[in-house]
Amino acid sequence: MYRHFFKPLFDFLLSFIALILLSPFFILFTPIVALAMKGNPFFVQKRPGKNGKIFRMIKYRTMTNAKDKDGVLLPDEKRLTSFGKLMRKFSLDELPEIFNIFLGQMSIVGPRPLLVSYLPLYNDFQARRHEVRPGLTGWAQVSGRNAISWEQKFAKDVEYVDNMSFAFDVKIFFLTIAKVFKREGISQEGQATMEVFTGTPKKEINVLILSAGRRVELVKLFKEARDRLGYGGKVVAVDLSDTAPALYFADEHYFLPRIGADGYIDKLIEICKTCKINLIVPTIDTELMLLAEEREHIERETGALINIGSKECVDICCDKTLTAEFFAENGFNAPYTYTEEELNEGKYSFPLFIKPRDGSSSINAFKVENEQQLRFFLSYVKKPIVQECVNGKEYTVDAFIDFEGNIISVVPRIRLAVRSGEILKGEIDMNEAIISDVTKMIKKLRPSGHITVQGFFGEDGIMRYIEINPRFGGGAPMSIRAGADTCEWLYRIVAGEKIDASKVKIADGAVYVRFDDSVRVK
């Protein structure tokens, strides 16, 4: 309410009162400036306002228009007059901007309006300063004005955008008065005012995708997020096989030994050091346990973050028996899991579902219709877990939790069509009951990074969960493209930024279909 109604109203009323009260000052002072500047007392320049809309900002002139022999304006320090320096000390040159405030182009408090030429130089984070009207004074001005770096100023501007309130504006207003009398931060060291902004150097963030296989879309999404954010760096993919298609869509690719083989961790660390990897992204269940066990060693040796939860969390997720126990102990609905004793004594009813305790991608997962099938699959499936077979609408829920445990997004999607355990067609369905339930589950499990939760939503309105995968699922790109952009968020986290969950907007009802393509590798 304050941001959209009261703040604009206060700006209008206060600027109107200020114009009336200061009219004698403007009448007397304007001719003085004209004499001191030997001409037009006003400096009018195009500046970007809210949402980058251009307006004409008016100030008192503090510099001459002196040019060199080639007709080029001299540097600021040579054009800034003694009278101009005096005006800047007490911020008198800014007073005509009250007219801009009265016209609704500016605000009393907000990020300072900078040059139009800076607009294409901002990265996404810096550009957020234009989400509000520019101000006569701002949080960056009372935090150092021109004496702090551009990056520090932009960080303060965005901090203001995120925390705008009446109390914050009052605080900045009174701090401004104190700064004017103390005359602090008027110029940057070695500069008449502030050095020209030439853009922030690109952050170099290198991402390593493990067991890349067919994860072509995931590789592309990381590259798209990197380019959209204006970062440098590479997306590197590794796999056991030289015919893994995702390898050939990455910026670079390497080969790793089979997971768990001698030298696997050493080779992984070697690649990370060679490519200066900042983020490691596992994609299959079989590597999760090893990475969780070796996490501290790998991160210490490489300095890279691993998109994975704690070892305790991975243990629960990767052992289907422990997953079932977690659901039961914490009150989440799940298929009943039969004990060995119950199976031996015939205390079960068909249909059943059997799968490996440490299974992945629906490999060796079967629906069991009769006794003969049950006895066969019990001998065929290694380390089997047998559960009741549940029906309903099948869902996968993509969730992202930052490395501090904050839940950023929970996105349920209906599995409309599946092949070999991987989704082919899906529909985003922001079912509030499922979102609420999975949110409670996350708080109990305490994972981090991207995870997927699978289950069946019955006609009785109950979600029955079958498994949790603490990694990117095959269909994760659907949720990413719907607005839960975990690739971008991971880049931002590595860059030291925090993700604001309140700004996440999901395209509810969006339907996605996936397809295969061919790429020649030999």
Spatial distance between the Cα atoms of 173 and 170, rounded to a whole number of angstroms: 5
Output the pLDDT for position 470: 94
Cβ atoms 49, 106 nearer than 8 A: yes
User: In terms of DSSP bridges, do strands 207-209 and 107-109 run parallel, antiparallel, or are they unpaired?
Assistant: unpaired
Cβ atoms 342, 387 nearer than 8 A: no
Identify the burial level of 145 via C-beta atoms within 10 angstroms of its C-beta, where 0-12 means exposed, 13-18 middle and 19 or more buried: buried
At the topology level, CATH places domain 207-308 in Rossmann fold (3.40.50)
Spatial distance between the Cα atoms of 487 and 477, rounded to a whole number of angstroms: 9
What residues does each domain of the chain span?
2-182, 207-308, 314-335+390-513, 339-386
Output the pLDDT for position 419: 83
Q: For residue 404, how many other CB atoms are within 10 A of its CB?
A: 9
Helix-helix angle 285-302:264-275, to 10 degrees: 50
- Provide CB contacts within 8 A for 329, sequence distance 6+: none
Question: How far, in Å, are 258, 410, 471 from residue 397 at the CA level?
Answer: 30, 7, 12
Cβ atoms 314, 301 nearer than 8 A: no
User: In terms of DSSP bridges, do strands 393-401 and 407-419 run parallel, antiparallel, or are they unpaired?
Assistant: antiparallel
Cβ atoms 100, 112 nearer than 8 A: no
| Secondary structure element (H or E) that encloses residue 464, with its range | strand 463-469
Q: Indicate the Cα dihedral angle 445, 450, 454, 460, nearest 10°.
A: 70
Spatial distance between the Cα atoms of 279 and 491, rounded to a whole number of angstroms: 8
| 207-308 and 314-335+390-513 agree in CATH topology | no
Output the pLDDT for position 147: 66
Q: For residue 315, how many other CB atoms are within 10 A of its CB?
A: 17
Which of 51, 138, 129 is CA-nearest to residue 91? 138
Spatial distance between the Cα atoms of 57 and 399, rounded to a whole number of angstroms: 45
Question: How far, in Å, are 284, 360, 383, 480 from residue 421 at the CA level?
Answer: 13, 9, 19, 19
Scan for tokens 């949790």, then name that residue: 468
Q: Mind listing the pLDDT tens digit of every residue in the chain (522 residues)?
A: 899 899 999 999 999 999 999 999 999 999 999 998 888 999 999 999 999 999 999 999 998 888 877 777 788 778 888 888 888 888 889 999 999 999 999 999 999 999 999 999 998 889 999 999 999 999 998 887 666 788 889 989 999 999 999 999 999 999 988 887 765 544 444 444 567 888 877 789 999 999 999 999 999 999 999 988 888 999 999 999 999 999 999 999 999 999 989 999 999 999 999 999 999 999 998 899 999 999 999 999 999 999 999 999 999 999 999 999 999 999 999 999 999 899 988 899 999 999 998 877 668 889 999 999 999 999 999 989 999 999 899 999 999 999 999 999 999 999 999 887 788 999 999 999 999 999 999 999 999 999 999 999 998 989 999 999 999 999 999 999 999 999 999 999 999 888 989 989 999 999 999 988 898 888
Cβ atoms 165, 2 nearer than 8 A: yes
Residue type at position 485: D
- Provide CB contacts within 8 A for 361, sequence distance 6+: 284, 420, 421, 422, 474
Residue 351: is the preceding peptide bond cis (ω within 30°)?
Answer: yes
Cross-strand partners of 107: 135
Q: Which ranges in 319-360 belong to alpha helices (H)?
A: 320-329, 340-344
User: Phi then psi for 234, rounded to 5 degrees?
Assistant: -125, 155
Output the pLDDT for position 146: 62
Spatial distance between the Cα atoms of 354 and 362, rounded to a whole number of angstroms: 10
- Provide CB contacts within 8 A for 510, sequence distance 6+: 427, 428, 478, 481, 482
At the topology level, CATH places domain 314-335+390-513 in D-amino Acid Aminotransferase; Chain A, domain 1 (3.30.470)
Spatial distance between the Cα atoms of 386 and 389, rounded to a whole number of angstroms: 9
User: Phi then psi for 72, rounded to 5 degrees?
Assistant: -95, 135
Residues in the chain: 522
Token pair of 120, please?
């294409």
Which of 267, 264, 270, 269 is CA-nearest to residue 289? 264
Token pair of 432, please?
């509030």
SS (H, E, C) 137-150: ECHHHHCCHHHCCH
